[in-house]
Amino acid sequence: MLTTLYNQLDAAYSEMVEIRRHLHMNPEPSFHETNTARYIRDYYEQLGIIVEHGVGGNGVVAKIQGAHPGKTVALRADFDALPIQDQKEDVSYRSTVDGVMHACGHDGHTATLLVLGKTLYNMREELSGTYVLIHQHAEELVPGGAKSMIEAGVLNGVDAIFGTHLWSTTPYGRIDTRVGPIMAAADSFTLKVQGRGGHGASPHETVDAVVTGAQIVSTLQTLVSRRVDPLESAVLSIGSFVAQNPFNIIADQAVLSGTVRTFKEDIRSLMETEMERVIKGITLATNSECDFKFTRGYSAVVNHEQETLFVKDIAQTIPGVTEVYDCPPQMGGEDFAYYLEKIPGSFFFTGAMPEGDVYPHHHPKFDFKEEAMLIAAKTLGTAAIQFNYK
């Protein structure tokens, strides 16, 4: 059965590439993926596969029923793009949409799952159980598409879920995963410091928002080193500090923003509480005011033990896989976390490092080795099929 799966996927590889490149040339940003969703729906409907669209927004869900009774397994792929200008110069499939590109591999995820879905449908007389193919919109932008699709019922009756991310900085042929936290909770914050402006020659008559903001930045950098257990992980990064004044004017207002990354809920709550305490203390001491907003983004992606060990075992048998690596956690965020909060499952990275120059995710020259889509499809397909026999 698995030989049939692999042979059919190999035979459909050129179609997989064609789909990926079409999507790459026609990207749509989060919550605006109407044409992409229609493309996915049409693909399945032309094959005769049962498909729902408009699920939780722009989500699309296809279901394939095997001829024999069994468990229900879900596979997920995201399909939104990013507000980034494509700067690749040497490929024929550059984005044709100004200021929007697939800079994270979601076009490859979609092509992978579409062709895998077609293959599973062709094999349905041999298969046991039900296969739920979740094509999710808006992974890149909080609140994301996973929550709304879950609320719409995509996980009803599902026994387990598996997902992968093509990873451009991981060597081709390697599968990375781990039991427990694999990606971080991704929170954001903004802070508006309100002081009293004035002339740069008379600082004693002002309440300098820049100086207050600078004190806040410096003190916040001590929270991880002095308030978080050194055996735990946390990141606090200030990404923006804006006070737009002429050189000789003391600013009355400064606006700061940044991100906090954690793996555990208690550390996440600690960071929020301690940030608020520090900010209030400094603004009180400097006679300024503040408006602090901490916005919780995606939860941490926490892999279930049984399902992840299962993925690690089957990954070693996949043609093209040269290594299965127990990877360290990544500080990036992913709303696949919400699926794993509801049902058992596992998320893994598929090595897709291209030849030549390598650019990270969300870079304007991002690309990946397309052959990695085959490894992703074979691994996801094997996990889905073999789950009925574990």
Catalytic residue chosen out of the listed positions 107, 139, 159, 307: 139
Does 192 have pLDDT greater than 90? yes
Look at residue 224 in the predicted model and tell me its pLDDT: 96
Q: In this structure, are strands 301-303 and 180-183 parallel, antiparallel, or unpaired?
A: antiparallel
- Note the pLDDT tens digit of each residue in 97-106: 999 999 999 9
The percentage of the chain sitting over the pLDDT mark of 70, rounded to a whole number, equals 100
d(CA 71, CA 177): 23
Binding site residue list: 104, 106, 140, 165, 362
Grouping H, G, I as helix, E, B as strand and the rest as coil, residue 69 is strand
Q: Identify the band that residue 315 occupies on the pLDDT scale cut at 50, 70 and 90.
A: very high
Question: Which residue is it, tokens 């992606």?
Answer: 301
126, 67 in Cβ contact below 8 A? yes
Q: Identify the band that residue 171 occupies on the pLDDT scale cut at 50, 70 and 90.
A: very high
Question: Which residue is it, tokens 């919400």?
Answer: 338
- Note the pLDDT tens digit of each residue in 294-312: 999 999 999 999 999 999 9
Mean pLDDT of 328-350: 97
Domains and CATH numbers, the chain: 2-182+300-389 (3.40.630.10), 185-298 (3.30.70.360)
Does 244 have pLDDT greater than 90? no
Q: Identify the band that residue 57 occupies on the pLDDT scale cut at 50, 70 and 90.
A: very high
Binding site residue list for Mn(2+): 104, 106, 140, 165, 362
Q: Identify the band that residue 390 occupies on the pLDDT scale cut at 50, 70 and 90.
A: confident
Half-sphere exposure of 141 (CA within 13 A, CB side): 13
Mean pLDDT of 41-49: 97
Mean pLDDT of 152-180: 98
Grouping H, G, I as helix, E, B as strand and the rest as coil, residue 280 is helix
Grouping H, G, I as helix, E, B as strand and the rest as coil, residue 245 is coil
Q: Identify the band that residue 284 occupies on the pLDDT scale cut at 50, 70 and 90.
A: very high
pTM of the model: 0.94
Catalytic residue chosen out of the listed positions 28, 80, 307, 367: 80
Look at residue 317 in the predicted model and tell me its pLDDT: 96
Q: Identify the band that residue 62 occupies on the pLDDT scale cut at 50, 70 and 90.
A: very high
Look at residue 389 in the predicted model and tell me its pLDDT: 81
Q: If phi over 0 gives left and psi between -120 and 50 gives alpha, with beta otherwise, what is residue 195?
A: beta
d(CA 329, CA 178): 8
The yes-or-no answer on residue 139 being catalytic is yes
34, 58 in Cβ contact below 8 A? yes
Tokens of 79: 């399909």
- Note the pLDDT tens digit of each residue in 269-282: 999 999 999 999 99
